[in-house]
Structure 1
Amino acid sequence: MRLSFDASVEEFRAAFAAFLDEHMPGEAEASERARSSSDVPEWARRWQRLQFDHGWLLPGNPPEYGGRDATLVQQYVHLEELSRRRIYHSFNPQGVGIVAASLLSFGTGEQKRRWAIPILRAELTASLGMSEPGAGSDLASLRTRAVRDGDHFVVNGQKVWTSGAHDADVLLTFVRTDPDAPKHQGISVLLIPTDTPGVTRRPFPSVIGADDLDFNEVFFSDARVPAENLVGPLNEGWKVANGSLGHERTLLWLSFAERLDELIRDFRPAGPPAADAYATAVMDAHALRLLGSTALARASRGEEDVASISVLKLLGSEAVQKAAERALSSAGAEGLVHPASTAPYTHMHLESFSGSWFERYTRSFAGTIAGGTSEIQRNVIAERVLGLPRR
């Protein structure tokens, strides 16, 4: 079987490649590193704004929102070209890919003008306030409360794992507004500026090390938020949540495929066990791309297939983790040293592709948690593919 695209899609790819060749920042310009996923250096803001102005930031969007009404397959080759060159289109991925996208789907015209466009143009950065200490994979168990008081909501509670919150200008925050409703029906969504009195952000390091400060605890203590910052209808935040994660998951499998490709390029198997691990990673990469291409074809025909997204997310995230673990085991003590790569790393490159085998392995756990844990994906597959009873 030969996987290929028609002439119009390849013309689209060629146009984007030409844009990258002409405009992509050079190494000298891109010398300043981002501190977190909501910290965008000035050169990266210019880069994101340039893509927005030329319709290449999110090509599936209308032109007024940084796109060119691209088809799903065209969006795929756009991401494929970015992945192939291993570069970011935004240093605030959750702001552009989830928060702004959610506002375009559920926000008012004023919210799109005031918040979505500035986020897309890198004039503001945004983080996603979903998870809580007792509500991670089970988002509907969230306890952060928002009580209406005149033309404001008063918010009290806590979020955790909020990536980049200490550098963000605004949080898309999921709160409980009806404590008496069934847990999926009493949730609403608020845009909360991070300079609001009563909002406290505390970054903390990950397992990678003390210098890796992206995660945050966020505390709300009688924070007053204008009622006009309600996104979507009151108590219907579950629909916004599904839409927010849908923006994140649609082509997520492609990032796992590229990570597998990168691991395979740097893997130097020594001995039969390592050779078996290498061969397994290669087969997993091929399987992921073939299954992903099938799902892409269905989606391009307008067919909704939530289960296939779960299968791809589960396969991709766990294949990356297993490949990194086996490479680390094969490398032994050398796994603590940054390996020589087949391509140079620059400040534009995706950092999750680089580092020692130990760093790659520890980072791989994010893939099996973020966007829906492996356990949740297995539940979805059990119910929607195998027809097993809900537990």
Structure 2
Amino acid sequence: MQLTFDETVEAFRAEFVAFLDEHLPDESEATERARSTSHLPEWARRWQRLQFDNGWLAPGYPPEFGGRDAGVIEQYVHREELARRGIYENFNPQGLGIIAASLITFGSAEQQRRWAIPILRGDMTASLGMSEPGAGSDLAGLRTRAVLDGDRFVVNGQKVWTSGAHDADVLLTFVRTDPDAVKHRGISALLIPTDSPGVQRRPFASVCDRDDLDFNEVFFVDVEVPAENLVGELHKGWAVATGSLGHERTLLWLAFADRLGNLVDEFEPDGPVQADQYATLIMDNYALRLLGSGALAAAARGVDDVAGMSVLKLLGSEAAQRATEAALDASGPGGLAHPGVTGRRSALNLEDVAAGWFDRYVRTFAGTIAGGTSEIQRNIIAERVLGLPR
């Protein structure tokens, strides 16, 4: 087992550290916070464009897409250095990590030029239209319809939980184009500009977002979408959907590991939780990092272990949830304090600083729901790791 990185990787790290030391905005520049996951303040647009131009926005992408064809180990180091400084990786995470990535994988050259590069450069933002009132985890149950009529699609239906849609320029929207096909077939992916006639976006509050709204319900009423906005093949959008959810799968565990590490530092032996809960948190943290390192090494060898990623997501998301719940229980009524009372939010980092434990506990449910619920992760583990029947 090799517990250190080779000289090439460390040279990559040193170059990135030098870039951050020279160019990273400070608090005096980052004066405006992003109000949603599809809103980019002007300073954030400049910072994203600078990263794109220097190949540091998404190092795993080719240079024409703001990267440098970096391997998975270098991508890990890139994220590690951002986490070390407490810097959020980007301020339109779905746009960069899912939608632009989907266009790089499945889109045409024209779609990449028109949509992917502007999203990556921060010239526009994008949101993901997947979930519906009757189709959340069961994406194949979606009912939003798109009928091909000559050189255009006509879209009718509704999406919900569409993060940042009210600030986005375009939605990557999954629609049913063949109602007679079996559930996982007959789905297509469309790029729908949010200023299209018939698109209505309604942001709504959550317990986590009382000041700035992020969630949206989106309605499509006879929305006309050019056929050239079809991403991938007609009726074969399931491949785009599963690719979208899997683009950052390999390193998703790292965000949970960073969260657990921060909690370990914050709790300390005489902190807000009992000794056995603190010990469990430490063990979960080590277990996640060791399992994640093994998965990282496998990925570097070209092994795509989807089921193993489910183990990491399940462990990381639920360990963070257990730890914050323990802190909430131990903190008593003071744990209910609102972040506006107990702290502030940094423009450089979307996490609340000194937030109340109730808010922090509730936010952990994003980890156990988004990107595949814990129940779905358990199904994958049961079938693909343990060999149990469906």
TM-score range (shorter-chain normalised) is: over 0.9
C-alpha displacement of 1:271: 8.6
C-alpha displacement of 1:350: 3.5
> 1:67-120, CA deviations, whole angstroms, 9 ceiling, x for partnerless residues?
011011000110111111111232101001100000000000000000000000
C-alpha displacement of 1:258: 0.6
CA contact (8 A) 1:37 1:93 kept: yes
Letter in 1 for 2:28: A
Which residue matches 1:308? 308
Distance (Å, rounded) in 2 between the aligned partners of 1:128 and 1:44: 20
Distance (Å, rounded) in 2 between the aligned partners of 1:273 and 1:219: 45
- Aligned-partner SS, 1:146: strand
C-alpha displacement of 1:268: 5.2
Per the normalisation by structure 2, the TM-score is 0.96
Which deviates more, 110-119 or 354-363? 354-363
- Aligned-partner SS, 1:22: helix
The 3 A distance-change label for structure 1 pair 62 and 268 is: same
The 3 A distance-change label for structure 1 pair 257 and 272 is: closer
Letter in 1 for 2:351: E
CA contact (8 A) 1:324 1:361 kept: yes
- Aligned-partner SS, 1:117: helix
Give the gaps of 5 or more residues in structure 1: none
The 3 A distance-change label for structure 1 pair 273 and 98 is: closer
Distance (Å, rounded) in 2 between the aligned partners of 1:271 and 1:136: 38
Which residue matches 1:375? 375
Distance (Å, rounded) in 1 between the aligned partners of 2:60 and 2:273: 44
Distance (Å, rounded) in 2 between the aligned partners of 1:82 and 1:354: 20
Which residue matches 2:285? 285
Is 1:206 equivalent to 2:199 in the alignment?
A: no
Distance (Å, rounded) in 2 between the aligned partners of 1:37 and 1:328: 27
Report percent identity of matched pairs: 73
Alignment of 1:209-224 (within 5 A): 209-224=209-224
- Aligned-partner SS, 2:39: coil
Letter in 2 for 1:300: A
Distance (Å, rounded) in 1 between the aligned partners of 2:209 and 2:161: 15
Alignment of 1:243-322 (within 5 A): 243-267=243-267, 274-322=274-322
Distance (Å, rounded) in 2 between the aligned partners of 1:270 and 1:70: 42
C-alpha displacement of 1:235: 0.5
Letter in 1 for 2:283: M
Which residue matches 1:143? 143
Distance (Å, rounded) in 1 between the aligned partners of 2:388 and 2:140: 22
CA contact (8 A) 2:346 2:352 kept: no
The 3 A distance-change label for structure 1 pair 271 and 13 is: closer
Which residue matches 2:386? 386
Count of paired positions: 387
Alignment of 1:149-228 (within 5 A): 149-228=149-228
Letter in 1 for 2:237: G
Is 1:131 equivalent to 2:125 in the alignment?
A: no
C-alpha displacement of 1:208: 1.9
- Aligned-partner SS, 1:220: strand
Letter in 1 for 2:294: T
The 3 A distance-change label for structure 1 pair 226 and 27 is: same
> 1:181-226, CA deviations, whole angstroms, 9 ceiling, x for partnerless residues?
1110110000000000000000001122422410000000000000
Distance (Å, rounded) in 2 between the aligned partners of 1:381 and 1:3: 28
C-alpha displacement of 1:263: 1.6
Is 1:76 equivalent to 2:76 in the alignment?
A: yes
C-alpha displacement of 1:249: 1.9
The 3 A distance-change label for structure 1 pair 332 and 270 is: farther
Distance (Å, rounded) in 1 between the aligned partners of 2:352 and 2:174: 28
- Aligned-partner SS, 2:35: coil
Distance (Å, rounded) in 2 between the aligned partners of 1:196 and 1:118: 18
Per the normalisation by structure 1, the TM-score is 0.96
Distance (Å, rounded) in 1 between the aligned partners of 2:328 and 2:48: 35
CA contact (8 A) 1:162 1:215 kept: yes
> 1:328-368, CA deviations, whole angstroms, 9 ceiling, x for partnerless residues?
111112223479xxxx9742124157521111101000100
Give the gaps of 5 or more residues in structure 2: none
- Aligned-partner SS, 1:175: strand
- Aligned-partner SS, 2:101: helix
- Aligned-partner SS, 2:211: strand
CA contact (8 A) 1:206 1:212 kept: no
> 1:302-332, CA deviations, whole angstroms, 9 ceiling, x for partnerless residues?
0121110000000000000001000111111
Which residue matches 2:45? 45
Which residue matches 1:22? 22
CA contact (8 A) 1:13 1:78 kept: yes
CA contact (8 A) 2:260 2:285 kept: yes
